Amino acid sequence: MFYRENGQFKTSYRADQQILPILQDRIAMVLLLLVAFIAVPVLSSDYLMRAILIPFLIFSLAAIGVNVLVGYCGQITLGSGAFMAVGAYGAYNFFVRMPGMPLVVALILGGVCAMLFGILFGLPSLRVRGLYLAVATLAAQFFSDWMFLRITWFTMDTPSGSVAVSNLQVFGLPLQSSISKYLFCLSIVVLIALLVKNLVRGAIGREWMAIRDMDVAAAVIGIRPMYAKLSAFAVSSFIIGVAGALWAFVYLGAWEPSAFSVDYSFRLLFMVIIGGLGSIMGSFFGAAFIVILPIALNQFLPFVAGLLGISITTTAVSHAELIVFGGLIVWFLIVEPHGLARLWAIGKQKMRLWPFPH
Amino acid sequence: MAFFLETLLGGLMVGMLYSLVALGFVLIFKASGVFNFAQGAMVLFAALAMARLAQWIPEWTGIESKVLANLAAFVLAGALMFVIAWLIERLVLRHLVNQEGATLLMATLGIAYFLDGIGQTIFGSNVYKLDIGMPKEPIFVFESVFPGGILINREDLIAAAIATALVAMLSLFFQKTSTGRALRAVADDHQAAQSIGIPLNRIWVIVWCVAGVVALVAGMIWGSKLGVQFSLATVALRALPVVILGGLTSVPGAIIGGLVIGAGEKLSEVYLGPYVGGGIEIWFAYVLALVFLLFRPQGMFGEKIIDRV
């Protein structure tokens, strides 16, 4: 009843091409941003912010990055954990080696490092595609694992490659409390999400989608595959690199190379597929699902066991977590292979017709 | 020279074991187009089942003989792999027919998590010893040619022999039996196979069973070599470059790819490793496969990829 586009006429091409063409969508988006920027920091507890919201935001950012590559350009990658690691260690090196380096600039430079690394490991995509490419990108993962462990220059010669950052400041304001960290991450996520949204609806985004749908046909109509694929790798790994740097600086504080294992690559791909390929909104849904699920299971399983009167050990809980996590993912892929974004679209369609179903 | 040969032989024998894991990937990919990331989890699960059953069966039944207990454990673990194969087909694959490759890949990753969890819940998560009576002491060969001869690990030699026998049996199965022929038909063209009356679902169950048995053998050998523990699941990640090097659709490719990767890995570690700080064998295999793919995108023996608009 309330969600209709009736009566909202567009008189110019620009107005028709808005990101949110319907008034109700704009209102909803403003409300969402208000909630995220004002209501959430006021209402939520320190634990909620630190353990759930900040990881959620950072992984949403990384998932957006993966979605650019996998969802929009169709290049499956299993090397995203490596891009995160390169972003984190790149930012760390700039931050520590150059005194007075502002945090934001260090993050961006970390992203640039990840971008260069991504372009390098994106080169095989020009020859190889599909599952071969997925396996080939694992090379990036193992290479970065090795690089940060063995080449001690990157980690300032610390043993086992573990490093730490402290005294984070943004524009002179200290980044200590959970609220300030949350707001910092949120601002970056909103900014980059808007940027990506604009990229994918522009010329370059359409090139990526053409490559995704059929690269030979795209090449025939004059899209340069090399430029399109490598630019997708560059944009994607830049975003993932920034997310990795944020994860290390803001969430972890101190980390070692194993913090960015191949498991992260798998989880990021899960987020994108469960959220919905080729959807910015879906990246947020997917990240929420994958970040919150283990935490929820961790809380929920001992509770269930308590109800049944069984005492279970922490290892049993972690195994049960794996079982439920794996089972849910399979179930979810069977029920909705197009991801949560598709459910969202169906819900919206229902809303337009409501309360008259025909 | 003797040292070089020794390294090369060691590498080749490890490579044989890689190809055993790689074989599991290839079998399933050929028949159902699924890139089975759960192969590593299956290896772990099978090895865990085998190790624990070999320990439990004497306790339950009082069988004294080690050989008998191992044999019974092997058969039971094999039966367990059959059940798992059937369940995977029934509960997962059947519902995901005609989905994209990436979705199927993710589904098998989900299965991998599931198997990791359930295997360790049932069989425990400690490091278990799996003693299948493989001789540990090394032997020396070619003592007349080189001073001191070449050291060869007896265990590796037997493992390589088992792997070779398994591969030979599989190729006989694929070439000579009617089921094998049906499998090849399905691998060639799903629809055509279906139209001449080959039941796709049954074929998939069979393929997953065969992959399960291959996983069991691989798990047994790796398990007796390294001990049965969680890290066995990562053996699959070591075998992935083998698969893409050899080609996703080629059984001989898996074998030869395994040998190339195994030898390349060891030689690079020994001759190149010291200059860059060691530990390069994992990514070196991937880079080797990657460089090869740049020249032949379908791998060594994979089917030629033909682009049509």
Task: Determine the Cα angle at A192 with ends A296 and A169, to 5°.
Answer: 80
Which tens digit of pLDDT belongs to each residue from A36-61?
898 888 888 888 888 889 999 999 99
Task: Specify the pLDDT at position B5.
Answer: 82
Among chain B residues, CA nearest to A221? B309
Q: Where are the domains of chain B?
A: 2-244
Residue B142 or A188, more confident: A188
Band of residue B28 on the pLDDT scale cut at 50, 70, 90: confident
Has residue B87 got a pLDDT over 70? Answer: yes
Task: Specify the pLDDT at position A204.
Answer: 94
Alpha carbon distance, N-terminus to C-terminus of chain B: 53
Has residue B273 got a pLDDT over 80? Answer: no
Contact A326 B241 (CB under 8 A): no
Contacts of B102 in chain A (CB under 8 A): 70, 76, 134, 269, 273, 277
The parts of chain A modelled with pLDDT lower than 50 are: none
| Facing residue for B118 by CB, picked from A131, A269, A323 | A323
Contacts of B308 in chain A (CB under 8 A): 216
Whether complex ipTM tops 0.85: no
pTM score: 0.88
Element (H, E) at A71: none
DSSP string covering A228-297, please?
A: HHHHHHHHHHHHHHHHHHHIIIIIISEE-GGGG-HHHHHHHHHHHHHH-TT-HHHHHHHHHHHHHHHHHH
Average pLDDT over residues B32-57: 86
Task: Specify the pLDDT at position A189.
Answer: 95
Has residue B303 got a pLDDT over 90? Answer: no
Residue B298 or A234, more confident: A234
Contacts of A129 in chain B (CB under 8 A): 297
Residue contacts between A and B (CB atoms, under 8 Å): 144
Locate B272 and state its tokens: 């190149």
Q: By the CB < 8 Å criterion, does B240 face chain A? A: yes
Q: What percentage of chain A exceeds 70 in pLDDT?
A: 98
| Facing residue for B290 by CB, picked from A139, A150, A322 | A139
Task: Determine the Cα angle at A162 with ends A156 and A163, to 5°.
Answer: 60
Among chain B residues, CA nearest to A273? B103
β partners of residue B139: B152
State residue A349 phi and psi, 5-degree precision: -60, -40
